[in-house]
Amino acid sequence: MGDDKTTLGGIHISPNAVATIAYHATLESYGVVGLAPKNLTDGIVSRITHEPLRGVSVRYSGEDIDIDVNVIIEYGTRITSVAQSVANTVRFHVEKALGLRVNSVNVHVAGLRVSDTD
Amino acid sequence: MGIAERVARVEKFRKMPIDGQSLKRLVEAGLTWLRTNQQIVNSLNVFPVPDGDTGTNMVLTLQAAWNEVKDSGTRHLGEMAAMVSKGALMGARGNSGVITSQILRGFSRSVHDNATLDKEALVKAFGEARDTAYKGVVRPVEGTILTVIKEVALATESALGSAQDAIEILEVAVKAADEAVKNTPELLPVLKQAGVVDSGGKGLFFILEGMLRHVYGESLETPTMSVQPLSAMNLQDAMGEVEEGQDYEVVVDFVPSGELDLSSFYGRLEVMGTSIQVGEGEGMYRMHIHVPTEKRYEPIDYIMGIGTVTKVAIENLLAQMDDIQKSSQLQFTPVEPGQIAVVVVSPGAGLSRIFASLGVAAIVPGGQTMNPSTQDILKSFENLPTDKVIILPNNKNIILAANQAKEVTVKQVAVVPTRTVPQGLTAMLSLIPDGDLGAVAEKMTKAIATVKTGEITVATRTVEIDGVNVKDGQVIALLDGKLVVSAETVEQGVMDLLEKANAAEHELVTLFYGEGITHAEANRIKDVIVQKYFNLEVEVQEGGQPHYQFLISIE
Helix (H/G/I), strand (E/B), else coil: B244: coil
pLDDT tens string B2-58: 667 778 888 888 888 899 999 999 999 999 999 988 877 887 766 555 556 888 889
At residue B178, the pLDDT reads 92
* Cβ B99 vs Cβ B107: under 8 Å: no
Q: How far is CA B381 from the centre of its chain?
A: 15
Residue A43 one-letter amino acid: G
Give the model confidence (pLDDT) of B544-553 as tens digits. Answer: 888 889 999 9
- Give the lowest-confidence range in A62-71, B256-265, B402-411: B256-265
Distance of CA B478 to the CA centre of its chain: 39
**Chain B contact for A26 (CB, 8 A cutoff):** no
CA distance B262 to B287: 12
What is the second-level CATH architecture of the domain B452-554? 2-Layer Sandwich (3.30)
Fold (topology level) of B330-448: Rossmann fold (3.40.50)
pLDDT tens digits, B102-112:
999 999 999 99
CATH class of the region B3-223: mainly alpha
Identify the weakest region by mean pLDDT among A101-115, B182-196, B225-239, B370-384: B225-239
Residues from chain A that touch B338, judged by Cβ atoms under 8 A, are none
Give chain A's domains with CATH numbers: 3-113 (3.30.70.1350)
pLDDT interval class at B240 (50, 70, 90): very low
What average pLDDT does the segment B218-246 reach?
A: 61
Interface mutation target, options B137, B146, B190, B410, chain A, most CBs of A under 10 Å:
B137
Q: What is the mean pLDDT of residues B297-307?
A: 89
Find, in chain A, the residue whose alpha carbon is nearest to that of B92: A78
Q: Do A25 and B48 touch (CB under 8 A)?
A: yes
| Average pLDDT value for residue range B150-165 | 94
ipTM of the modeled complex: 0.78
pLDDT digits (tens, 9 = 90+) for B200-215: 999 999 999 999 999 9
Q: At what angle do helices B94-110 and B119-135 cross, to 10 degrees?
A: 140
- The residue among B72, B106, B110, B70 whose CA lies nearest residue B89 is B106
Domain range list for chain B:
3-223, 231-324, 330-448, 452-554
Note the CATH number of domain B231-324: 3.30.70.1150
- pLDDT value at position B323? 57
Instruction: Please report, as a single letter, which amino acid is at residue B542.
Output: E
- Which residue in A has a C-alpha nearest to residue B88's C-alpha? A78
Of B115, B120, B101, B109, give the one whose Cα is nearest residue B60: B101
What percent of chain B shows pLDDT beyond 70? 91
Work out the angle between the directed axes of helices B349-357 and B421-429 (0-180°, nearest 10).
Answer: 10
Residue B249 has pLDDT above 60, yes or no: yes
Q: How far apart are CA B274 and CA B249, in angstroms?
A: 10
Whether the CB of A2 is below 8 Å from some CB of chain B: the reply is no
DSSP 8-class letter at A59? E
Contact (CB, 8 A) for B485 and B479: no
Strand A64-74 vs strand A102-113: parallel, antiparallel, or unpaired? parallel
- Residues A30 and A33: their CA atoms lie apart, in Å, by 8
Which one, of B206, B146, B153, B145, lies nearest residue B176 by Cα? B153
Calculate how close chain A gets to B89, using CA atoms only, in Å: 6
CB of A35 within 8 Å of a chain B CB? The answer is: no
Contact B198, B188 (CB under 8 A): yes
